[in-house]
Every structure is written in structure tokens, then in C-alpha cells.
Structure 1
Amino acid sequence: MMMCRLCGSTNLADVVDLGATPPCERFLTAEQLEEPEITYPLHLRVCAECWLAQIPPLISPEDTFTEYAYFSSYSTSWVEHARTFVAETVERLELDSSSFVVEVASNDGYLLQHLVARSVPCLGVEPSVNVGTAAREKGVPTKSAFLSPETGAEVRAEHGPADLVVANNVYAHIPDVIGFTKGLRAMVADDGWVSIEVQHLLTLMDLNQYDTIYHEHFQYYTVASAQRALACGGLTVVDVELLPTHGGSIRLWARPDEVAGEPSTRVRDVLSREKAAGLHELSGYAEFAQRVARVRRELLSFLTAAAERGETVVGYGAPGKGNTLLNHCGIRPDLLAYTVDRNPYKHGRFTPGTRIPISAPERIAEDKPDYVLVLPWNLRAELTEQLSYVAEWGGKLVFPIPNLEIVEVGS
């Protein structure tokens, strides 16, 4: 019987069952196409006691993140998002050359490079050796490790307490949420700040963003469940910002309990919105599976109709979310000829489960397909601009989430 990893309750209710898929970042080489793939259930449940939405921890972070296919800097808009965050936070917290900032899951230095440029001492704690190496090549000090209470204590002992600890898009990626949270508290100064960005379950459900459910994401947060999670490490949420990133995220500002004080009105406002949507009770989760099924039917109907007409559809991007969508819909190369990605690591490989070939982006201009299915729909503005050239031959863009939308570029 599955137990809630936050509160230990066995009172977990079904939200949506997406079947069984391979881990979303386990891209295949040509040689591996002749080998079997291991699949794992992808079944989201919500705890009726603490409201943490979660999937079973069937794979370990070590399986996924020791060598990782995702490099943050390949997204121009994400690097700009990080630059803006650094500029605003340096001013907000008055960070300077006497400060110390730690980022957990710092990837290839996409964020900390902006602090280095401002001469603010910093350290990345990044478990993936290959992307950590890329960060160090940019001049970003990086420790190759998974965060735990012990790792947090080691960082504090070596570098001193951190004025700010940043954890962007990682709080969903760790099965030991209690241990990870205690690791955050171990690093942050007793009067310091913790900033966490994570996708908001409210927008995930409201906008049918079910493709962001995959095995790397062990849990999915409301502000209410994030409050409970951070409390287990001695941290209190004092402020929250609603962000457009990843289709809708929350930036949580937390401080050690002793200095936190009362939460801002924005915290109370977002909690009220979650409650109004029914996410603090089971009723709010009842119809999500039906909306997910509709997305699948719409996309398959479009792809099969295009195939019947002899039209070519290719993909843009090979993100983890795209692999959830492709596997859930059962899409194969007969319906999606190939996809492309800016990350050279993925070129010549194949998507897990669906085994769709991945090429360099230049192939789209060479082949002039009728449609381009945009898999990282959360980067819609950035990618619509990047793909504006498909209008030269009358090509169109297709966005599958939250509802199928076919877009004539420039219209």
C-alpha cells in the first residue's frame, strides 16, 4: 500500500493513471533500439491529509540525474528568466561581494553565471556530473552532489551559512522531500532566505498540463502542500509569486521559523484561490482524468487525419514532458516522422518508448513539413518566434496543450 511521503498517511486518492512509460530522459541510441525498455507505472495520487499530489518513487534520482540530458542554457527565455531573477533579488536582499548564495540543482550554471558576473560569491550543488562540468567551464563553482542534510552541513561548514539558497525546478524531483528540506535549512543562515520555484498544481490541472507528470517529478505542489513540506525542515513560507514559467509556477520565499513572521497577503490570496478550485479537498481532483483523455483524443484525431491526407507532421523539441505526451497517446514515427532539438546530446538518439528519431533543428527547413508539433508548449512565445520561418512554405504550428490549437505563423 502506498504511503504519503510527506505525512505517512495511506489515505491517497486517484487523480490520473497514465499507464506505464519509460523514464522520460532515457533517450535511446540506435544500438538500444534492438533492446527491451523497462517501463514504470505513471499514476498520480493525492494525499487527503496533507494534499501532496505524488507518484510512487519507482526510480531513484541517481538513475536519472547522475548523467542528465537536460541543459538549461539551451532555452534562451529560461536564461533570461534567471538573469531577471538575479537582478531583482540582488536588489531585494542587498546581495554583494560579502554575501554567499547557493543554488541547488544548478544545472549548467544558467543562473549562477549572473551572480558570478556581479562578483557575488556563490556555489552550485549539482548532482549531474556532465552538466556540472559545463557549469565549471563557465566559471561557476559547482559541487557534484545530491542535497541531503549531510551535504547541507558540509557546504555550511566549508563556506559558511548562505544568505540565499535557490532551488528552482528541483523541489518536485526528490523523493525524500523531508531530507531535502532539512538540507536546505542546513545551508541557509538563521536570518537568511530560501527561494523555490516549482510548477503550480493549480495551473497544471486547470490547463490540462498532464504531460508534466513524469517519473522525475515525484510530487506536485499547491502552496498549501508546500507550506507543510517546508515546515518539516523548520522553514516558513513568507511570500509567494505567481510566474508564467512552465505553464504556471509558484516562487516560494521561505525563511527559518524563528525569523519568518506573518506570511504576506499574496500567500493568503493564493491559498484562497486553491481552496476555491477545490484543491484542498478531494472534489477538486475528480474530473482531471476525463480532461486528460480529451487531450489525447484531440491530438490523435489530428495526427491520423493528417496522415490520411498525406501530410507530414514533425516535432519540435524533445523535452521530458513531450515523452509523457507521446507515450500516453501511443504516437509512433508513422504519425510523427521525427522531432528536433537544440541540444546536440540528443541528436541521433530516439525518444524513450515511442522511438521517434531526434535530429538537429535545421532539418525542418530542409524538409518543409506541413505541420510542426511543438512539444515544449510552455516556451510558446520563444518557439513561435524561432519557428516563424515555417510560414515560408505554408507550414503551421500545432500546440497540444491545454487544447489542440493549429497556428498559422504570423497570422
Structure 2
Amino acid sequence: MTACRLCGASGLAGVVDLGATPPCELFLTAEALDAPEPTYPLHLKVCTTCWLAQLPPLITPEETFTEYAYFSSYSTSWVEHARRFVDGAGLRPDSFVVEVASNDGYLLQHVVARGVRCLGIEPSANVGRAAIDKGVPTLTDFLSPEVGQRVRAEHGPADLVVANNVYAHIPDIVGFTRGLRALVADDGRVSIEVQHLLTLMELNQYDTIYHEHFQYYTVASAQQALAAGGLHLVDVELLPTHGGSIRLWARPEEAPVSPRVVEVLAREKAAGLHELSGYEDFAARVAKVRRDLLRFLIDAADAGKTVAGYGAPGKGNTLLNHCGIRPDLLAYTVDRNPYKHGKFTPGSRIPIHAPERIAADRPDYVLVLPWNLRDELVEQLAYVREWGGALVFPIPSLEVVA
């Protein structure tokens, strides 16, 4: 990749090189363990013109999202986050809401419960079926300007368009943004939630770098991406979700910009993210996270301690592969999603079981891979203390919670 996918500039500087890994959601069956497994470079770069951090498009969204392993509703806290958003969205009985990448209906189910008309656009047929089973009208498709125009012609313009945790997953940022513009009414609103590059850098959240995330946004770069597709950023909220996210509010028509936009832009600038200096020590901090986790796991193995994992998220697979963790250091992991049971993590080949396995085996340590759900999981895993076990959080720095 030699040119920025947003502004076209050629000045891309390396931020961190995580080697080569398989796509993070391509979990392996037992039969696939003896077959070749494709890997792709994972080298994050930043454009020194518009400051969009990005990965080359080595895999396509179609390869990842036609059949998808991630179901949003398995996170209780995320479903509650969506409910609060819907409650505060100011919807009227005659509103029309469209969510892009609507997953299994985790958000639109709350819109349906209010009796408000809505539509989900979800590319993964298997996940979309779960939404339909909840009574959420769902179109199986990838958003493009043409799909946006077709939905608008058939259903009318949307008063609110929601795009949560998808803006990073689209290599054609401008085309996708034009699709959002096609969906939304001229006086409507677009809400986008995406991980904030500022917290990713500050808190060493490098495991959220994986191939299906094509870019990582500051408010500055997001503002330029929205403008390129015909939308104007009018407000921003800082959210704790996914370790630190931004909720971008945009409109088709220019409107006064909230002071919060100015404040966050100033924070980003103070952190050095609008110049190359802010990115220069990130790779060294990532290397320390890797060394600390490996040292802990090796010491535990040498001491005869048992370690199991909790969760099999995409971010966990970046961490496991970058650190070179295999079943000799992490015997298995567990996950609430039955879709993953009996499969193996890509690259690291760690078996995935149902959560009940932890209580049955009573490991000395439980390595928590979805660290972004810390509060929820500390509560769910409180029973580990019954046998003197402890939870291990690898990010932002190694922490053992007894």
C-alpha cells in the first residue's frame, strides 16, 4: 500500500508491524488443522497528510462478513449500551431508523419494542437470520451508494442512520459514507461509533489491530472522511465502549459544530496524533506488552500452574498470534458463543470450549481476552475466586486480579 485510501497522498509512515497473522475471525474446525492456513502482513501505517491510520486491504469484506462468527448480543453490556442509545435518541412514533451492519438485532430490537419502523442492513446472512428471528426487518447486503439509494426509494429517507463498529471495516470509506448519505433524510442524523485512535495509542490497545479493521480514526481523520462522502460532523461523544470509542454525529447539511468537537481535536493534537511524533514510541510499548505476557505465562507453566482463556474475540487472536502463544502456554479458551465451540483459534490453534469448562477444571489463572468487557467479566467470573484462582488482564499492561 503506497497511497492513503482517504486522501490519496503517498506519505505513509509505519506505526507498528505485528508480523503476519490469519484473518482473526476464521476459526478452524478440527478437520482444518492439518490444512494450510493463509496469513497476511499486519503492519499499521499512518498517512502524514490526513493522519488516517490504516492497513492495506489484503482481505475483502466479502471474505470476512458473508459468514461471520461475531454475534453482538452475547455481550450483555453491549446490548444495554444499545438500549440506552435508543432510549435517548429522541425517536418519534413516525420515525424511520436504519442501522448499517445491524448484526443480530442487538440495537434495532429496542427500536422494534418501541413500535418504531426500522430496517437493518447486515451483510452476514447467518447473523442477519438471528435478527430476523427477533422480529427485526433485515436486508442482507453490503452498503454502497447504490444500495443506499435503493433502500431510500423503497422505504423512504431515514430520520436516523446508525453505524456502530463498522466504519473501520470498510476499505472504500468514501463510497460507504456516500451510502450513509443516500440513506439519511436531508434533515436527518447519522450516528457512527468507532474505536478512537487516541485511546488505542494511549492504552496500548494494539490487539484491536486486525485485518478486518482497515482504518483507525481520530476525530480529525473521521471529519475528513465524512466530508468526502457528503456529511458534516456536528458533534462527538467520548464513550468507554471497546476500550474507548467516539460517537460521531453527522448531518447532510452544515450546522453549528459542538464545542466537544473542538475539545477532542485539541486533545488529539496535544497527544501528537496530528503529527508523526505521536506515533513514534508505540511499537516499543507494544513489544513490552508482549514480553510481559509471555514472561507471565512461561513462569506459570514452569511453576506447574494451569492457565485457561476466557473469550475468543478477534482482538484476542491478534494478541495470541503476535505473542506466539500456543496450547502449551494456554491450554484452551472458552466463549459464550456456541458457534465457536469445538473450533480452534486461527493461527494459534487453541481449542475453544463452552464457559462451563472453567468451573469444571478450576484453572489457577484465567486470561481474559476481551479486556474491553472488564467490568462485565469480573462480575461473571467472580466464581474463579472460590478455588483461589485469579483473572489476568494483558492490556493496557499486565494485571493479575485475585
1:71 corresponds to which letter in structure 2?
F
The match for 2:137 is 141
Q: Map 1:4-403 to 2 at 5 A.
A: 4-90=4-90, 95-256=91-252, 258=253, 260-403=254-397
Shift of 1:116: 0.2
Shift of 1:234: 1.0
Shift of 1:14: 0.5
SS across alignment from 2:385: helix
1:214 corresponds to which letter in structure 2?
Y
Shift of 1:3: 1.1
Cα distance in 1 for partners of 2:4, 2:132 equals 37
SS across alignment from 1:69: coil
Shift of 1:291: 0.3
Cα distance in 2 for partners of 1:65, 1:88 equals 30
1:197 corresponds to which letter in structure 2?
E
Shift of 1:155: 0.5
Q: How much identity, in percent, do the aligned residues show?
A: 80
Shift of 1:233: 1.0
Cα distance in 2 for partners of 1:2, 1:132 equals 36
Cα distance in 2 for partners of 1:320, 1:261 equals 37
Cα distance in 2 for partners of 1:175, 1:355 equals 28
Shift of 1:261: 1.6
Cα distance in 2 for partners of 1:174, 1:28 equals 24
SS across alignment from 1:234: coil
SS across alignment from 1:127: coil
Cα distance in 1 for partners of 2:34, 2:96 equals 49
Shift of 1:296: 0.1
Shift of 1:23: 0.1
2:52 corresponds to which letter in structure 1?
L
SS across alignment from 1:195: strand
Q: Deviations over 1:262-284 (max 9, x none)?
A: 21000000000000000000000
Q: Deviations over 1:74-97 (max 9, x none)?
A: 00000000000000113xxxx222
Q: Deviations over 1:156-182 (max 9, x none)?
A: 000000000000000000101010000
SS across alignment from 1:398: strand
Cα distance in 2 for partners of 1:385, 1:68 equals 28
Cα distance in 2 for partners of 1:96, 1:188 equals 16
SS across alignment from 1:89: coil
1:348 corresponds to which letter in structure 2?
G
Q: Deviations over 1:222-241 (max 9, x none)?
A: 00000000001111110000
Shift of 1:98: 1.0
Shift of 1:104: 0.2
Give the 4+ runs in structure 1 shifted more than 4 A.
none
Matched residues, number: 402
Cα RMSD, aligned residues only:
0.5
1:182 corresponds to which letter in structure 2?
R
Q: Which runs of 5+ in 2 are unaligned?
A: none
More displaced, 95-104 or 122-131?
A: 95-104
2:165 corresponds to which letter in structure 1?
N
Query: Does the CA-based 8 Å contact 1:96-1:119 persist in structure 2?
Result: no
Q: Deviations over 1:264-312 (max 9, x none)?
A: 0000000000000000000000000000000000000000000000100
Cα distance in 2 for partners of 1:176, 1:25 equals 21
Cα distance in 1 for partners of 2:256, 2:191 equals 17
Shift of 1:390: 0.5
2:188 corresponds to which letter in structure 1?
G
Cα distance in 2 for partners of 1:225, 1:399 equals 30
SS across alignment from 2:13: strand
Cα distance in 2 for partners of 1:181, 1:234 equals 7
Cα distance in 2 for partners of 1:9, 1:43 equals 18
SS across alignment from 2:88: helix
2:177 corresponds to which letter in structure 1?
T
